[in-house]
Amino acid sequence: MKISGKRKLRTLLLLADSGTWGNEGNGPEAAPVLRSNNIQNYSLDFTDVAYRIIPKKDKERRRLVGGDILVTKSSGSPDLIGKCCLFVDPKDSKQYYFSNFTTRLRANPKEADPRWIFYWLSSDIGRKTLCGMNSTTSGLRNLNMNLYLDQEILALSVPEQRRIATILDKADAIRRKRQEIIEQTQTLTQAIFLNMFGDPATNPKHWPVDRLGKITEINPRLNLCNANILKPKTIVSFVPMSGINETRGVIALSEPKQYQEVCKGYTPFQDGDVLFAKITPCMQNGKAAIASNLIGGVGFGSTEFHVLRPSQLAISEYLFSFVRHPTFRKEAELSFTGTAGQQRVPKSFLENYRCPRPPVELQREFSTRVAKVWALEEKQTKNLEQANDLMSSLAGQAFKGNPR
């Protein structure tokens, strides 16, 4: 294996260009445009594609082809900057485009295999290079493309890149398969919800309907029994937006912090509360979780969370599944206020949303059923972590010049 140092990313590319948008449309002239929220777990999700009228000047030059790499270059969330995926043609006879909040990279076949570039960008090493590469403009974070394209990648011959990429493909296939199983458990949870309660939009079981703000507290203060024991140096849990796993709907990461560090300027919550991301695109992606195992039962987190506290009329598991339901999130999206990249669901939307209220006994039965599904999901998550560790290990060896 011949290693000739490193090369700048831009020297391996034919194209590095921004996307297009155009006017909204749904007729035969409208074309599917992929956005940042279509990039999920380093692959494309085609279930919620925007349709726009593509300007004539962009018809050919902005059309995606197999092997193109999509990169999020602008977002309201720093955690989403730089997330990427390979475009794989879904073979549905449509011509796909990409939005102006994303960048398309096209590898020069004489210099690089696109999979090699993609695996670099999505590797632990590649992700670390993103630190300090984005800036904020009016609340919108933007990737510094000059710095991004100047990052250096291990220089190997194209045949060697392909050989290593094929090894990584196999490890990635294992990872994706386990991810699919986890996503299927999410589908099962929603299926149980619909079977027991019906679609919340149509309420076919004719449950009583109340304002969501009546059956749950929205953005409440901490209970006094908790607040009274909080001293300046009391350790509590801190949950950033990135700490919520949007696929599983759980708190995957929290940090211990002193109460005096987080008591001002952050959102308070406690065990049993439901956290609901109010900002785009986190809301559309389903970022929500039931707070649990918090230090001392108390937590603080991003100001971009709304908090729903269970009551005698609505338990945590019901509220969580309700706000994660696609119908609810679609309607929440229509309520957005704010500017592009910083749009949020207002508190008033939650307070006034008409929510079916099934009997609490039935909600508890739902909780018992989904607990078994979530236990299975937890087991599969550990399997996924092992697959991710394998992928990281192989990628780390490859990009350090020690591929097996």
| Domain ranges across the chain | 3-154, 157-207+358-404, 208-355
| Percent of the chain as helix, strand, coil, to the nearest 5 | 40, 25, 40
Calculate the CA dihedral of residues 201, 324, 313, 222 and round it to 10 degrees.
-140
Please give the CATH topology (third level) of the domain spanning 208-355.
Adenine-n6-DNA-methyltransferase TaqI; Chain A, domain 2 (3.90.220)
pLDDT in tens, the chain (404 residues): 444 588 999 999 999 999 999 898 888 889 999 999 899 888 898 988 999 999 999 999 999 999 999 999 988 777 778 999 999 999 999 999 999 999 999 999 999 999 999 999 999 888 888 877 876 665 678 899 999 999 999 889 999 999 999 999 999 999 989 888 888 888 899 999 999 999 998 999 999 999 999 999 999 988 755 445 788 999 999 999 989 988 778 999 999 999 999 999 999 999 999 999 999 888 988 899 999 999 999 999 999 999 999 999 999 999 999 999 999 999 999 999 987 668 999 999 999 999 999 999 999 999 999 999 999 988 988 998 999 899 989 998 888 765 45
* Class of residue 146 by CB neighbours under 10 A (exposed 0-12, middle 13-18, buried 19+): exposed
State the CATH class of domain 3-154. alpha beta
Half-sphere exposure of 270 (CA within 13 A, CB side): 15
Fold match between 157-207+358-404 and 208-355? no
**Tell me, what's the pLDDT at 323?**
95
Omega before residue 208 within 30° of 0, cis: no
**Tell me, what's the pLDDT at 341?**
65
pTM over 0.75? The answer is no
Q: How many CB atoms are located within 10 Å of the residue 338 CB?
A: 14
State the CATH class of domain 157-207+358-404. mainly alpha
Q: What is the secondary structure of 227-272 as a DSSP string?
A: HTT--TT-EEEEE-GGGEETTTTEE---EEEEHHHHSSSSEEEETT
- The token pair at 12 is 């391996």
Beta bridge partners of residue 152, listed in sequence order: 8
